[in-house]
Structure 1
Amino acid sequence: MHRLIKRGLMFGNLIEVASPVLVERYNRALKHLTGKVTGLTDFHIDISGYSPEIGDELGDHLYLNHNGVNRQFILLTTEQKSAPLLNAKFSTSRGILKQFITENEPQLFALTARDAVAGELVNSVFSVSDPKRLFDIRKVEIEADTTQGTLRDADELAGMVDRFKGEEDAWFDDVLIADMITLAKRTGDVTRNPVRLKHMVFQQDNFWTAHFGGLYVFRGLAHPAVIARGDKDALGKLPIKYMFDFRDRNQIAKFFEYNALVEPIVKARGIDASAILRQKMDFIVVDAAQEAGVDLTGATRRDIRALARNHAEQLPPEYHGLRALVNWAESDGPWPKINSDHPAYFYSLRAADTPDKDLVNMLLAELAPKDVRQLFICHKESFYGAYATWSETKKSYVADFLDREYQVDKAGARAALFGHDAPMEEPVSAARDDLIARVGPWGAVRR
């Protein structure tokens, strides 16, 4: 992975912790949460405060994420909001942490000026040893305080102030006054500078989890389903009507359609569809070249396309399907009939503009894994797993491409690939709704 780390494509944007003061605060929080401490004098942390160096030191990379649920966090600075989340077990965790920091930034800035803030993403499940337990996760709440209990003390002091102002004889209560003075030394003046974090609750309707080989849970849609990366039968019976795995291409395509979750790239507005499809074709050529043992060291885009021209007959059907789409878009060629059985089908789609577009793009990235750029952007865990299996020549090419083409303008690249100028969903007809209600959206599907 050294190529990725060197180019900032792995462990990029982590926050360095090098000052003795911050290390000491981190250790207080780590001791408070886990009973452990680190002997390192400098390390890097992600948005949750997890450090890969400390994970190596402790021999436990889930030291802040026991059993992969109820992730704990340590905040040393509000700058952590821009850091990635490593070893993610749920797709929603980073968004929850980022929103928590953003919504409470002034308060957290004041708190972290003197201490670390430690907390936990709390739900009703402490173990997911059985897939059914995932469906007990309905919402996530955030519990947080400084290691010295500043927020707890501030709430207690605020209650004392209310008593002092409201009770007739409070002026003569020496014990109450002494307790207020003691707490105020730790919290400051809570009447003039109240420090309270917003109580935040996040619904967990649709999400991806790394548990059980990777599952996409869509239960907050009109037509809910679970989509498994591995064998769906190994999950047993789940409390949801429809279960698919990646072999069920037709059913997944219908699931996308009935929930209006995707749109064809060639029909999307405000993007250069041909350029996006051509880049996908290049990645497919790179994958085929790896299989054929072709050396891609230093290969340019022109070299890749020359390779495609010279070996067109040996390229997989994904390439030819996308080429037909490009021919239609650029040259008024015939509309290619690419249905869900065609290997190019999921390469031809992107998420529609819905609240679940990031999750849908994540799923599409796994359904079209040869598009390494989308895999890297939308599903880094899957990208790193695939990267480890590639030949050295493909690793080198992909790392160079992402460094050269993506790192220089991440926001621009994401906007060009996944941005939306206008909603693309067509309203579902009442007739189709009636049909779905009678026979179910995917027909007779075996569990």
Structure 2
Amino acid sequence: MNRLIAKGLMFGNLIAVDSPALVERYNRALKALTGQTTGLTDFHIDLSGYSPEIGDELGDDLYLNPNGCNRQFILLTTDQKTAPLLNAKFSTSRGILTRFIEENEAELFTLTARDAVAGELENTVFDLTEPKRLFDIRRVTVVADTTGNHIAEGRKLAGLIERFRTEEDGWWDDVLIAEMIGLAEKTGDVTKNPVSLKSTTFDQGNFWTAHFGGVYLFRDVEHPALISVGPRAALGTLPMKYVLDLSDHRAVAEFLDLNDLVEPIVGARGLDAGAILRQKMDFILVDAATRLGLETGAGTRRELRQVATALGPRLPEAFQGLAALLRWVETGGRRPRIGPSHPAYFYTLRARPSKDRDLVNMLLAELSPLDIRQLFICHKELFYDIYRSWPEAKKAYVADFLAREYQMDKDGTRRALFGDEPRMTVGPWDRDIVEVVGPWGAVRRERR
């Protein structure tokens, strides 16, 4: 993992906490949330305020996420909105925290200028001992305040001011006036600078969770289903008609198609399908070669063609399927038929534009793990887990490729692969491309 850290591919963009004042504020918040403090004088924190160094110190990587259920957070600066979220247990957590910071940026900037803001992503479930408890998670509320309770006391002071203005004897109530003065010394003038936070409640409809071996729950779609990474039987009885697992490629493909969640790379608007197919073929080739101990050199296109020639009949079926599709895209001829049972099938898809685009691309990354670029972008937790099992030659190739091709232009790469950022609501823009089922004639909409 040191190779990834050195290239900024792991623990990158963390926020440095390296001044006594910031460390002291962090410790006050940490004490309030967990009852613990750190002895470190400098460390780094992610979007939620989690520090991998403190995690090592405490021997607990979930010290801000007990039970992996209601994530706590510590904000020292609004710059944390650009940091990654480490050890994510729910796919929605990053989006909720980022949006909360962005929509309260002015207020949080003022509050963090003098204190840490501590809080929790709170839902009605406090433990996930059974898979069926996932269905109880419908809404997440962000509960936050400074360690000095500035927000709560600001609300209290606003209430006292209202009493002072409206009560007939308010002008002569010495106790009320004294209490107002005492609170104002802490909160400032709340009439000119009200201290309040907005956008603190977020719906949690479709999401992924790391619990129970990994689960994708789609309930806010036309045809709801739960997709388990492991065997579905291990989840027991669930309050949902359709429960699938990733090993059933045909059922998962039909679910994605029935809900119009995916589109083929070939035919997607504004996409260089040929270039993307070639890159996916390179990734598959490098995996096959390094596992067989074959030299890939610097991993250039010319060197990889030589590897493909050396492999000959040992070329993976997924590689051959993508090669046939590439030939059809560039030269025409007979259209290849690649169905859900073909190893190349999920490599030929991407998510349609929708509010669940990132979640669907995350699922597709899990179904096509040899596409290391999509895996790194869409499902970092799985990427880091799989990375540990790769041969050293593949680790070197992947780290060099991502540092060279992705780190240099993250936003541009994302747009080139997945399109523009999805809108929050569904509209006609979902359907303004030619309706293409795919060049393989796989799952047809007539099955409805």
The amino acid that maps onto 1:24 is: E
Matches within 5 A, 1:261-300: 261-300=261-300
Identity over the aligned pairs, expressed in percent? Answer: 64
Match of 2:425 in 1: none
Match of 1:57 in 2: 57
In structure 2, relative to structure 1, the CA distance for the partners of 1:133 and 1:426 (3 Å cut) is: farther
In structure 1, distance between residues paired with 2:298 and 2:4: 17
Deviations 1:384-410 (A, max 9, x none): 011000011100010000001110000
In structure 2, relative to structure 1, the CA distance for the partners of 1:32 and 1:352 (3 Å cut) is: same
Structure 2 SS opposite 1:190:
coil
Task: Give how far 1:238 is off.
Answer: 0.7
The amino acid that maps onto 1:9 is: L
Matches within 5 A, 1:23-422: 23-420=23-420
Structure 1 SS opposite 2:226:
strand
Task: Give how far 1:355 is off.
Answer: 1.1
Asked if structure 2 preserves the Cα contact closer than 8 Å seen for 1:157 and 1:183, the reply is yes
Task: Give how far 1:271 is off.
Answer: 1.1
The amino acid that maps onto 2:313 is: E
Match of 2:430 in 1: 423
Deviations 1:334-359 (A, max 9, x none): 11100111110000000011111100
Cα RMSD of the aligned pairs, angstroms, is 1.6
Task: Give how far 1:246 is off.
Answer: 1.3
In structure 2, relative to structure 1, the CA distance for the partners of 1:72 and 1:176 (3 Å cut) is: same
Task: Give how far 1:262 is off.
Answer: 0.3
Asked if structure 1 preserves the Cα contact closer than 8 Å seen for 2:296 and 2:307, the reply is no
Asked if structure 1 preserves the Cα contact closer than 8 Å seen for 2:117 and 2:146, the reply is yes
Match of 1:442 in 2: none
In structure 2, relative to structure 1, the CA distance for the partners of 1:99 and 1:161 (3 Å cut) is: same
Asked if structure 2 preserves the Cα contact closer than 8 Å seen for 1:244 and 1:251, the reply is yes
Deviations 1:304-334 (A, max 9, x none): 1221234232111100110111111111131
In structure 1, distance between residues paired with 2:306 and 2:191: 71
The amino acid that maps onto 1:417 is: L
Structure 1 SS opposite 2:208:
strand
Asked if structure 1 preserves the Cα contact closer than 8 Å seen for 2:131 and 2:238, the reply is yes
Structure 1 SS opposite 2:87:
coil
Structure 1 SS opposite 2:407:
helix
Gaps of 5+ in 2: 422-428, 437-443
Structure 2 SS opposite 1:152:
helix
Asked if structure 2 preserves the Cα contact closer than 8 Å seen for 1:290 and 1:393, the reply is yes
Deviations 1:80-130 (A, max 9, x none): 000000000000000000000000000000000000000000001010011
Task: Give how far 1:147 is off.
Answer: 0.2
In structure 2, distance between residues paired with 1:52 and 1:435: 49
The amino acid that maps onto 2:271 is: I
In structure 2, relative to structure 1, the CA distance for the partners of 1:287 and 1:4 (3 Å cut) is: same
The amino acid that maps onto 2:47 is: I
In structure 2, distance between residues paired with 1:373 and 1:246: 20
The amino acid that maps onto 2:184 is: A
In structure 2, relative to structure 1, the CA distance for the partners of 1:127 and 1:389 (3 Å cut) is: same
Tell me how many residue pairs correspond in the alignment.
433
Asked if structure 2 preserves the Cα contact closer than 8 Å seen for 1:122 and 1:141, the reply is yes
In structure 2, distance between residues paired with 1:221 and 1:265: 22
In structure 1, distance between residues paired with 2:435 and 2:280: 30
Asked if structure 2 preserves the Cα contact closer than 8 Å seen for 1:297 and 1:396, the reply is no
In structure 2, distance between residues paired with 1:4 and 1:201: 36
In structure 2, distance between residues paired with 1:282 and 1:433: 32
In structure 1, distance between residues paired with 2:399 and 2:225: 35
Match of 1:445 in 2: none
The amino acid that maps onto 1:272 is: D
Task: Give how far 1:168 is off.
Answer: 1.5
Task: Give how far 1:170 is off.
Answer: 0.7
Using structure 1 for the length normalisation, give the TM-score: 0.94
Task: Give how far 1:236 is off.
Answer: 0.6
In structure 2, relative to structure 1, the CA distance for the partners of 1:435 and 1:338 (3 Å cut) is: closer
Structure 2 SS opposite 1:267:
coil
Task: Give how far 1:433 is off.
Answer: 9.0
